[in-house]
Amino acid sequence: MNKLGLTKPDGRYMFLYSRREIPRELRAPSPDGTPVRADPHLRWHPLRGEWVAYASHRNNRTFLPPPEYNPLAPSRPGDFPTELPAGEYDAAVFENRFPSMAPGATAKPDVGVPSRPADGVCEVVVFTQDPKASLSGLELEHLELLIDVWADRYAEISARKNIQYIMPFENRGVEMGVTLHHPHGQIYAYPFVPPVPARELELQREHLQQHGRGLLEDMAAAEIAGGGRVVAVTESAAAFVPVCARYPYEVWVMPRRAAPSFAALDARERKDLARTLKTVLMKYDALWQRPFPYLMVFHQSPVNTREYPEAHLHAQIYPALRSPGRLKYLAGTELGAGMFANDCLPEEKAAELQAVKVNV
């Protein structure tokens, strides 16, 4: 993997990644050259026991792009500058110009509950230069490169000593609120371990202490042995509809051993994970012959805090649809009580995905 570090005119950092050599003369553009003034803060929610981020500058976007403007496409001479340079590379990472968390944040308003600067990191990961591509349609080697990119980001962001949790994710489709259709994901790096992974790790730790094996290792092994909910499996990676799926078509993808992060995967495991993930995403898109909207999040080990022998890198994919035209809404019981109600049995949805044949 080749990597080139750049700085945008407004001060944000950018990295280009490629399987081939990257021309050293590339320069990082920005749609807006004025320095970023993000100063988001966190407030403590005393009734839920969690931090909430406030980034009111995000609503003050004065930039008015021309119609059809794609800020994630490579810049073209004479056109309005985008976030990406023209040139030879496969993927790009840069700081979000309108971040929910920002490294230099200092705000700590006196509001009656504890508050602190939201000094995390929000990165955009552009998966490819091709605006019409999708993660599922990328060549296997390109997806392998993206796994290297996620591993690189994990290692590099970990060097910021205030960061405790690094979460890559992809929101895909208008159903998920996505307005930029160029294939891309994001990485949020938090100055604390957020409640969802914190809770998962707590339960993983209990399982490890009781059984001497990882919870997700055991779940993956049981799914592979049973077979009924498996969606894809390779020598070192597995994908399945979990027995406790909260969303119709929910799938988890993971290395079969408890590798704590992307950075901990060896070359063979990265290849297997790429192939397994690509199989799932291709099945999704082939299921109804349309791009399948979803949220995909990667959970991995916290950093710069205690040891987490219980951590196990995995993706959880939450599809937005129940059927081709019907959304899965989160409403009263999901948001108000935290009990998900699923109209579909995981076994039925797994069988549907199993029946879809794809050529990875």
Name which of residues 146 to 185 contact its own copies (CB under 8 A): 165, 167, 169-171, 176-177
- Nearer to its own copies by Cβ, of 210 and 359: the residue is 210
Residue 274's region, left for phi above 0, alpha for psi from -120 to 50, else beta, is alpha
**Are the beta carbons of 207 and 255 closer than 8 angstroms?**
no
- Nearer to its own copies by Cβ, of 13 and 44: the residue is 44
For the CB of residue 98, give the shortest distance to its own copies in the complex, in Å. 9
Q: For residue 221, what is the enclosing H or E element?
A: helix 215-226
Task: Return the range that interacts with its own copies (CB under 8 A); candidates 13-21, 44-52, 124-132, 269-277.
Answer: 44-52
Does 64 bind its own copies (CB under 8 A)? Our answer is: no
Binds its own copies by CB under 8 A, chosen from 18, 96, 100, 136: 100
Does 65 bind its own copies (CB under 8 A)? Our answer is: no
Does 246 bind its own copies (CB under 8 A)? Our answer is: yes
- Nearer to its own copies by Cβ, of 85 and 319: the residue is 319
Does 335 bind its own copies (CB under 8 A)? Our answer is: yes
Residue 305's region, left for phi above 0, alpha for psi from -120 to 50, else beta, is beta
Supply 273's token pair. Answer: 């994970």
Catalytic residues: 184
Q: What is the largest CA-CA distance in the chain?
A: 63
Does 63 bind its own copies (CB under 8 A)? Our answer is: no
- Nearer to its own copies by Cβ, of 197 and 260: the residue is 197
Binds its own copies by CB under 8 A, chosen from 11, 195, 227, 324: 195
Q: Residue 96, SS3? A: coil
Binds its own copies by CB under 8 A, chosen from 75, 164, 301, 316: 316
Q: Positive or negative, the Cα torsion across 156, 158, 163, 169?
A: positive
Q: From start to end of 182-261, where are the E strands?
A: 184-190, 230-233, 237-240, 251-255
For residues 21-40, which are near its own copies according to CB under 8 A? none
Does 336 bind its own copies (CB under 8 A)? Our answer is: yes
Does 194 bind its own copies (CB under 8 A)? Our answer is: yes
- Nearer to its own copies by Cβ, of 7 and 305: the residue is 305
Does 49 bind its own copies (CB under 8 A)? Our answer is: yes
Does 112 bind its own copies (CB under 8 A)? Our answer is: yes
What does the chain come to in residues? Answer: 360
Nearest residue to 170 via CA among 348, 47, 49, 316: 316
Supply 64's token pair. Answer: 């008015």
For residues 257-296, which are near its own copies according to CB under 8 A? 295
191: Cα separation from own chain's centroid: 17
Q: Residue 263, SS3? A: helix
Does 202 bind its own copies (CB under 8 A)? Our answer is: yes
Binds its own copies by CB under 8 A, chosen from 219, 232, 273, 287: 219
Nearest residue to 125 via CA among 139, 116, 135, 137: 135
Task: Return the range that interacts with its own copies (CB under 8 A); candidates 108-116, 136-144, 148-156, 270-278.
Answer: 108-116
Q: Positive or negative, the Cα torsion across 100, 252, 238, 254?
A: positive
**Are the beta carbons of 42 and 115 closer than 8 angstroms?**
yes
Does 351 bind its own copies (CB under 8 A)? Our answer is: no
For the CB of residue 315, give the shortest distance to its own copies in the complex, in Å. 10
**Are the beta carbons of 173 and 285 closer than 8 angstroms?**
no
